[in-house]
Amino acid sequence: EAGVAQSPRYKIIEKRQSVAFWCNPISGHATLYWYQQILGQGPKLLIQFQNNGVVDDSQLPKDRFSAERLKGVDSTLKIQPAKLEDSAVYLCASSLIAYDTGELFFGEGSRLTVL
């Protein structure tokens, strides 16, 4: 079974530029999450989707971050304009359904460096 796919793996941009990350969850997983992991810290949830609807985006900095999952499968996370403090690894995860106590499966992440 294929895992969670993410691209690009690495991205270097200058501050005030924009960037987009893509995620394709495990087939059949209705719930998709984006996490931000700053160096030396645990991942922090940014947004959670159930199919193509947003369940929770309370921790997403909406002035610069946006995310969508239009067809309920793959998802895109965008940052515009980027700040130095956005340098982090952006992890995508999926699970079968949101209201479930099963496992969460993570992709390998997209590492962003903002100069």
Partner 1 sequence: KQEVTQIPAALSVPEGENLVLNCSFTDSAIYNLQWFRQDPGKGLTSLLLIQSSQREQTSGRLNASLDKSSGRSTLYIAASQPGDSATYLCAVPFSGGYNKLIFGAGTRLAVHP
Cα 6 from chain centroid (whole Å): 9
Identified binder of partner 1 from the candidate list 24, 36, 75, 95, rule CB under 8 A: 95
Parallel, antiparallel, or unpaired: how do β-strands 44-50 and 31-37 relate? Answer: antiparallel
Burial class, 48, CB count within 10 angstroms (exposed 0-12 / middle 13-18 / buried 19+): buried
> Containing H/E element for 11?
strand 10-13
By rule CB under 8 A, what count of residues binds partner 1? 28
Residues numbered 4 to 33 that lie near partner 1 (CB under 8 A) are: 4, 6, 31, 33
Q: Is 45 in the site for partner 1 (CB under 8 A)?
A: yes
57 binds partner 1 (CB under 8 A): no
Q: Which residues bind partner 1 (CB under 8 A)?
A: 4, 6, 31, 33, 40-45, 48, 56, 91, 93, 95, 98-109, 111
